[in-house]
Structure 1
Amino acid sequence: MRRMAFRTALLAMVAIIHAARAAPSTTTSSLAKSTNAPGQASKTPSPSNNTPPPATSIKPSPAATPTPSPAAIISSPSPAATNSPSPAATNSPSLAATNSPSPAATNIPSPAAINSPGQFSNSPGQDQSSNAPGQSNAPGKTPNAPIEPEAPSQPPDAQAADGGPGQSSNAPGQSSGSPGQSSNAPGQVKKTLQGPLVIVTHELGETWALRNDEDGKVTPIAMGFKPPKDKDKNKNEKDFEPGTVVAMDCNIDGTGTCTPTVDTAPTIVAAVPDYSAYIYQRVLVMILDYSACGLVPGINVTTVRSLFLGPNGDGLGGIAQRYNQYSYGRLNLNTTAFQALVVPQSCSTAVTSSCSWWTISNGADTTAKGMLGTTAFAEFTHYIYVVPPGLNSVCPWAGLALLPGKQVWLQTSEYGVYRWATVMQEALHNYGLWHSWQNGYEYNDFSTAMGRGDACPNAAEISRLGWATPAYGGAAIDSSVLTQPGVSRSFSLPATYITGDGNYLRVLPDWLPTYSLDSSVAKNLYLAVRVPKASDALLGSQYANKLNMHEVNATMDNGYPTTYQFSDRKISFFKSITSLSMANLTNYQLSVYAGSWASTDTLRVHICRWIASPSECPSLSALEQRPGLPTAPPSP
């Protein structure tokens, strides 16, 4: 009985269990909903034991699928430059990932919400971005700040996948290498040039250029170029000198500018050629005619000949006479060989919009060779290019020249070809002279044509050109000449307009501790008498009838002529004094005296060095050894 009751109870329990298993479940597992806004990556649902069977995957249409091109893949932003989502939320613009929803995530974005190539949505856990298209919350940036350019994942000159040139991050005119150097970028032609490496001087600064020995064309060098170091005869390193002949590999761009290649440094082929103080120039003046652009010449052949050779064309007037007077007969124009001609040119945007001076000269040379013949063209020693007056507003200079070299460019203007001092300044650049300074400003020395003056070159310039010699015993006045503090030396200096013989003093203040210790501050001094007569008739009152003083870089000055033949010594006017006065030059521990006029326009000059005070030196009256006024005052 008991067994029967137990069995009946057991069967009832089994029935209840089966009934419970057969009943439908009251727990329905719905799909996990995403709270992501459109444009955000779907968050992966948390694992669940109630996972439904996979839903049907709805893929975007091909037109809506953001499949990037291979080129876009190459230029994709680097990871460091983007708000990269985590792997679980990556809408990567790759061919393998087209934003197709995974089986576990059926929250399918609409086509409007699909990310474009190169754009990324916020990672899980990030707030929704309100950035406009093309903007990103980059690290350290405020929301909605403009997105910064990304670094390309390939070198700037890499080829794109479609075979076209890759994009470069360089600004126009810049190279991908160090300043002034470049690899062979698209659109450039690699070429080896050889010739003198020169400076192009103008009012806006200086530019390196190379005059090719092969065809005579001038090629400018890209900004930032630094010439190679040279070596002296003892194999010691020295500064590069303009005029040195070099060979260099260039990438020539569309403007004709050379960017030296990175892999091959320029090599020095030959030293600066020797310079002759006696010159007879055979000049060809090319009057450029750009009538095709509406830029007609503003000067004719007859006027040019008169400006250069004088009204009679015999060299006894005009610029030829100035050259002869200022150089004491050493710089001359060959009147027989002199020629001027109008050179027609085709219209060139490089000229009319950018005043490309090398395009001007190279084009003019080609045309002139066709007009005269190559042999006749080569017989000239110097070439002058006169541009039309219509280019005055385009070309920011009155004149420019190669330093050293044989070419000069002039504007058709009152301060250009019509001003003899401008023509002379550019001509003397060809022989290695730089601009003259005053009060810390380039060009501000009005005592010389190498500044802004209508006057002869100063003593530091005529001595460098070999046109003048120092007074006897005055070539190098240093501690071996002024042997003791308080000891003076006296000289008689003729005004520079009279003669080039014995007309200046050169002081080397080696008694200063800094003179031999710091080459950057060491200076030499040039002293000369200037009187407003003859070639110096237009000399200004600050310089006229006075002893003029200039200072120059001592290292470069002392190295000449072995080194620094065409380097910039930075000639600077700093003081002038009248007869029977003195100047105490504290920076040089030197007293300079302008004494009496020994004869017409010849001044007695005394100098004395000291240690602690000018009182260590004699008085001017003691040095003159006579009372009263000078016996021969300067002529009015």
Structure 2
Amino acid sequence: MTSINGSGEYVFRTWDDENLPFCPGSPALNADVFGREIGLGEPYRLETGYVIKKYCELCPDGEDSFCTCPEDTPMLQGCIEQTSIFYHPMVCGGGPTPTVNVQYKLIVIILDYSECGYAPNITETEILELYQDVAQKFEQCSHGTFKFSDVHAVRVAPPCSFLTTESCKSWAISKDAEEALKQLLGVTSLMDDKYYSYVLPPGMAAVCGWASQAELPGDRTWLQSNEYGVRRWATVMQSTLNNYGLWYAWGGDEPRADATTAMGTGDACPSAPELAHLQWATSVGNGGGSIKKNTLTPAGRPLGWNLQATYLTNKNFLRVNTDWLSTYQNDTLGKDLYIALRVAKGGDVGLSSEYANKVHVHESKAMALNTFQTGSAYQDHHNQIIQVLAPDSRAVLPAYNLVMYTGSLSASDDINVYICRFTNSESECPAANTLVQWPSMPPTSPLPPSPRPPPSPRPPPSPRPPSPQPSPAPPPQEMPPSPLPSP
């Protein structure tokens, strides 16, 4: 059982220390299988669907619907299989936490475990300086719609314990830290409109084995104090956006392997499907909609669009519904494609040369487009990079019966992109040297570039947040949390 803004909620704790949250408003669980009452922050055991296959002379391959071992026959061999527990957010009501027009409030809690040899190596002032850079990145990537309005830093010294300093259990770390913070402030509950981040001291990275963890969704993150944790803005962005329901980015069928986005291993803004999910950007195709089969008809005829770099405008990508494929209506196999120009400027200045100044193609589960306003927004949409095109190039996407072409990158950081659908062979689409003869969609009026926020004066260190008043029991939180590890 965990606490969400002071309210008790329930989560499954998996073997690898992840949380899979119950839906908001789930019935209370009063006791475990042994009849013991449960308190806040305490784990307890539930029956989880074990299946015991018995092997006997009558059933040498194990029991099934056609063969049953007699009750008095001793088990010769036991095989215990645990049924998988799937978190399926679409059964939950309500939509995702808004990610536009956000005034983000955060308390950063520096953990001091000096009594067992883990002293902190970062100060409140350093935290505030680091988060000024993080805030600027959020404003750049969101085109001004996600702003940090209130950041405080405080140092607390919770007691060392087996669960915290020896086992690195995130739920225990936050529970003890919040108790220490409440004692420091002289209050009985913490504010319910803030997010909380826990910065672990050096040495704990070896105990924990991760750079960051986050509730997905939720309001808590855990960060190491090394260069891969709180000192890296992309790690902070990744964990923060986990709180808002955004999963890690895929590359080569591996999670967290996309080097073009902070949601993977990159030092850059979220990718096009992630920007769409967060509502930080919209499509330029078909008046802000999707490109479909009827757009790319007849087959074999390329059609072109002009794309501005994502750092320039929030109208910056093409979304292609691959509805000509028989798999498109399948929730697992149906995919949409997201096409965007990424240039190493603004929030994307950290893009590596392998990806900078090129057109990126990502795939995402098609169900994400129609359901991201519902509880299923918290599912993994499997956003994965599948192609990178340099200017003046041609590439075949055989899984989608598509050929793509790019023009030259202009001095104003825009590029023409052409898409051709084929039925049987990519040879149905023309060679790239005929590019100038192809039609283009009428240009849409791009939104003006978002102005860069003026530099903010550095605030003085805030050793403790303002004393909150005890809050009444809040309404049910949108989704209970699930810590997910980052490498």
TM-score range, shorter chain: 0.7 to 0.9
- Aligned CA distance change for structure 1 residues 532 and 481 (closer, same or farther; 3 Å): same
User: Within 5 A, what are the aligned runs for 1:232-271?
Assistant: 244-249=24-29, 251=32, 252=38, 256-260=42-46, 271=94
Aligned pairs for 1:300-379 within 5 A: 300-309=123-132, 318-334=133-149, 337-374=150-187, 377-378=190-191
Distance 2:200 2:96 in 1: 30
- CA distance in structure 2 between the aligned counterparts of 1:508 and 1:491, rounded to whole angstroms: 16
Alpha-carbon separation, structure 2, partners of 1:523 and 1:442: 17
User: How many corresponding residue pairs?
Assistant: 390
Q: Distance in 1 between matches of 2:189 and 2:394?
A: 57
Q: Quick one: structure 1 residues 535 and 307, their matched pair in 2 at CA, closer, same or farther if it must change by over 3 Å?
A: same
Structure 1 residue identity aligned to 2:115:
A
Partners of 2:396 and 2:341 in 1: how far apart? Answer: 18
Q: 2:103 aligns with which of 280, 283, 286?
A: 280
Question: Is residue 478–residue 509 contact of structure 1 (8 Å, CA) maintained in 2?
Answer: yes
The 1:308/1:482 distance shift into structure 2, 3 A limit, reads same
Which string of whole-angstrom CA distances, capped at 9 and with x for unpartnered residues, describes residues 551-600 of structure 1?
11222333332452111011111111111111111111111111233551
2:262 maps to 449
Specify which of 229, 244, 249 is matched with residue 436 of structure 1. 249
Name the counterpart of 1:555.
367
Structure 1 residue 411: deviation in Å? 0.7
Coordinate RMSD, CA, aligned: 2.9
* Aligned match of 1:605: 417
Go from structure 1 to structure 2 and tell me whether the alpha carbon gap of 1:585 and 1:409 turns closer, same or farther (over 3 Å shift). same
Matches within 5 A, 1:139-538: 211-212=3-4, 215-216=6-7, 221-223=12-14, 244-249=24-29, 251=32, 252=38, 256-260=42-46, 271-272=94-95, 274-309=97-132, 318-334=133-149, 337-374=150-187, 377-378=190-191, 380-473=193-286, 475-501=289-315, 503-516=316-329, 518-538=330-350
Superposed CA offset, 1:348-393 (max 9, x none): 1211211111111011112212323548830552111011112121
The whole-number CA distance in structure 1 between the counterparts of 2:401 and 2:292 is: 12
Instruction: Give how far 1:528 is off.
Output: 0.3
- 2:205 & 2:382 partners in 1: Cα distance? 29
Deviation of 1:620 after TM superposition, in Å, equals 3.1
Provide the C-alpha distance between the structure 2 equivalents of 1:447 and 1:217, rounded to a whole number of angstroms.
38
Amino acid aligned to 2:135: A
Q: How far apart, CA to CA, are the structure 2 residues paired with 1:561 and 1:403?
A: 16
Structure of greater relative contact order (alpha carbons < 8 Å, 6+ residues apart): 2
Runs of 4+ in 1 over 6 A off after TM superposition: 240-243, 265-269
Based on CA coordinates, which of the two structures has the bigger radius of gyration? 1
Residue identity in the other structure for 1:567: Q
| Cα shift readout 1:235-272 (whole Å, capped 9, x = no counterpart) | xxxxx998644334153599832434679x99988534
CA distance in 1 between counterparts of 2:162 and 2:152 reads 28
Flag the 1:217–1:414 CA change in 2: closer, same or farther, 3 A.
farther
Give the 3 Å change call, closer, same or farther, for CA 269–607 of structure 1 in structure 2: closer
**Distance (Å, rounded) in 2 between the aligned partners of 1:471 and 1:262:** 47
**Runs (5+) with no aligned partner, structure 1:** 1-192, 194-209, 226-239, 310-317, 627-636
Q: In the superposition, relative to structure 1, how do residues 504 and 286 fare at CA in structure 2: closer, same or farther (>3 Å)?
A: same
Distance 2:271 2:185 in 1: 39
Decide whether aligned partners of structure 1 residues 242 and 350 sit closer, same or farther in structure 2, where only a CA change above 3 A counts. Answer: closer
Q: Give, as a single letter, the amino acid of the residue that structure 2 aligns with 1:587.
A: A
Matched residue, 1:181: none
TM-superposed CA distance for 1:621, in Å, is 3.6
Which amino acid is the alignment partner of residue 556 of structure 1?
A
- Normalising by structure 1, report the TM-score: 0.57
SS at match of 1:384: strand
TM-score where L is the length of structure 2: 0.74
Q: State the partner residue of 1:27.
A: none
CA distance in 1, matches of 2:139, 2:368: 28
Tell me how far apart the structure 1 counterparts of residues 9 and 166 of structure 2 sit (CA, whole Å).
19
Cα pair 1:401 1:429 within 8 Å, conserved? yes
Question: Partners of 1:550 and 1:498 in 2: how far apart?
Answer: 20
1:255/1:277 CA distance change after superposition, 3 Å: closer
**Alignment check: 8 A CA contact 2:390 2:406 kept:** yes
Q: Equivalents in 1 of 2:397, 2:96: separation in Å?
A: 38
- AA aligned opposite 2:332: S
Shift in alpha-carbon separation, 1:319–1:375, aligned structure 2, 3 A: farther
Cα 1:224–1:368, aligned 2, differ >3 Å: closer, same or farther? closer
| Residue ranges of structure 2 left out of the alignment (5+ in a row) | 33-37, 50-84, 439-487
Query: Is the Cα–Cα contact under 8 Å of residues 97 and 244 in structure 2 kept in the other structure?
Result: no
Percent of counterpart pairs with the same letter?
37
Question: How far off its partner does 1:433 sit?
Answer: 0.9
2:394 to 582, 591, 605: 582
